[in-house]
Amino acid sequence: MLREIKKNVYWVGKTDWEIRKFHGDEYSTHRGTSYNSYLVKDRKTALVDTVWSPFGSEFVRTLEKEVGLDKIDYIIASHAEPDHSGALAELMSRIPDTPVYCTANGAKSLKGHFHKDWNFVPVKTGDTLDLGRCKLLFIEAPLLHWPDSLFSYLTEENILFSNDAFGQHFASGLLFNDLVDQAELYQEGIKYYANILVPFSKLVEKKIDEFKKLNLPLDMICPSHGVIWRDHPSQIVAKYLEWAKDYSENQITIIYDSMWNGTRRMAEALASGIRSTDDKVAVKLFNISRSDKNDVITEVFKSRAILVGSPTINRGILSAVAGFLEQIRGLKFSGKRAAAFGAYGWSGESVKMINDGLEKAGFELLNSGLKSLWNPDDRALDECVGFGKGIAVQSAQRGRETQSSGSRTFP
């Protein structure tokens, strides 16, 4: 269904209420998502992105019925991931000569996905496409979040089509940011940033700076997932700038797995030590084997420090903790501190392995970690409480230097 979002500009995407796992099994989508595609009807008609392939036929049928496929003069492919390019296969089989505007990397990537030599028109920052009354101004956005990513700005209507940037995995029929629950929107917005954009924070800052220097009026930001930012669209830009600068709130997160509850009891004693020293800091505990990993990553993003624990097993660590360390290695958080802990019975390698993983992930170690032999007794738990007290003090020193305001709502 076409929904007009501004004069002669339509949302023609698909709301996916069912999806609960995205990127294979790598990203949980508790609130579903949407694949936003936009149509600009001017003297020429341009389609900005498509939808994920399972919805390709439905998408093409809707365009055929409500617009007419022969009326589409140009296609803009902002990014080749199949959640946005998936319907191209069917669409291009119907209108094979239609020019596809994308970056040079976009053409490479689309060819790699579809093995078709469509009529690609590679564009660079500053290139424009004249639609009649309006123009599309292209702005390359490499690594936000793929090397092929492209923003397009629609003159006269002052719309930035930002593709994945500023998006959220958030299904809503309400379409616009001012109409949805702000807490839900914030939760999905920060989760999206923490799980997808964190490694590219420096580029986020640079790209926003570059866009601001263009001095273009901005009425709307139309991302490729979730709601459209029409009410103070600069609010999400301000949030991105805040998140891009080594963001943290007054929070310490304890992430662990446990075999016989020894490491869990250590985790709880650590939390008690932290709280007894600082009753303002939010201390959150997650057994990573029983928690949603993307939600935990979001909590890591909000933390000034994390504690990671595992007992030793087979001279190593539990697989859920190993998976978590691999995930944070790739995300490259910066400006955060960490420490390791774990119970052991025989060889006791877990703390060293966790320390190695935390360092590889860019965390600054607060100390060499804490081990507890066998089932922690009262003395061992007292030691954990003392360790927690030290963590509260050490992480607060840095926290005071760099902590953000930690506001939890969009300004």
Asked if 14 touches ligand FEO (CB under 6 A), the answer is no
How many Å apart are CA 357 and CA 337, to the nearest integer?
13
How many Å apart are CA 60 and CA 51, to the nearest integer?
10
Among positions 109, 162, 224, 258, the unique one binding ligand FEO when judged by CB under 6 A: 224
| Nearest CB to ligand FEO, comparing residues 42 and 164 | 164
Stretch that binds ligand FEO, among 79-87, 131-139, 178-186, 351-359 (CB under 6 A): 79-87
| Nearest CB to ligand FEO, comparing residues 19 and 283 | 19
How many Å apart are CA 53 and CA 55, to the nearest integer?
5
Asked if 148 touches ligand FEO (CB under 6 A), the answer is no
How many Å apart are CA 92 and CA 322, to the nearest integer?
43
| Nearest CB to ligand FEO, comparing residues 146 and 153 | 146
How many Å apart are CA 70 and CA 95, to the nearest integer?
7
Among positions 79, 191, 275, 304, the unique one binding ligand FEO when judged by CB under 6 A: 79
Residue 159 three-state SS: strand
Asked if 84 touches ligand FEO (CB under 6 A), the answer is yes
- Scanning residues 350 to 369, which ones bind ligand FEO (CB under 6 A)? none
83 part of the active site? yes
Stretch that binds ligand FEO, among 65-73, 76-84, 185-193, 275-283 (CB under 6 A): 76-84
| Nearest CB to ligand FEO, comparing residues 150 and 296 | 150
79 part of the active site? yes
Is-contact 284 396, C-beta < 8 A? Answer: no
Structure token pair of residue 344: 């052991």
Task: Give the active site residue among 16, 49, 145, 153.
Answer: 145
How many Å apart are CA 355 and CA 342, to the nearest integer?
11
Residue 351: which of 325, 333, 383, 378 has the closest Cα? 325
Is-contact 98 72, C-beta < 8 A? Answer: yes
Task: Give the active site residue among 42, 49, 83, 349.
Answer: 83
- Scanning residues 162 to 221, which ones bind ligand FEO (CB under 6 A)? 164
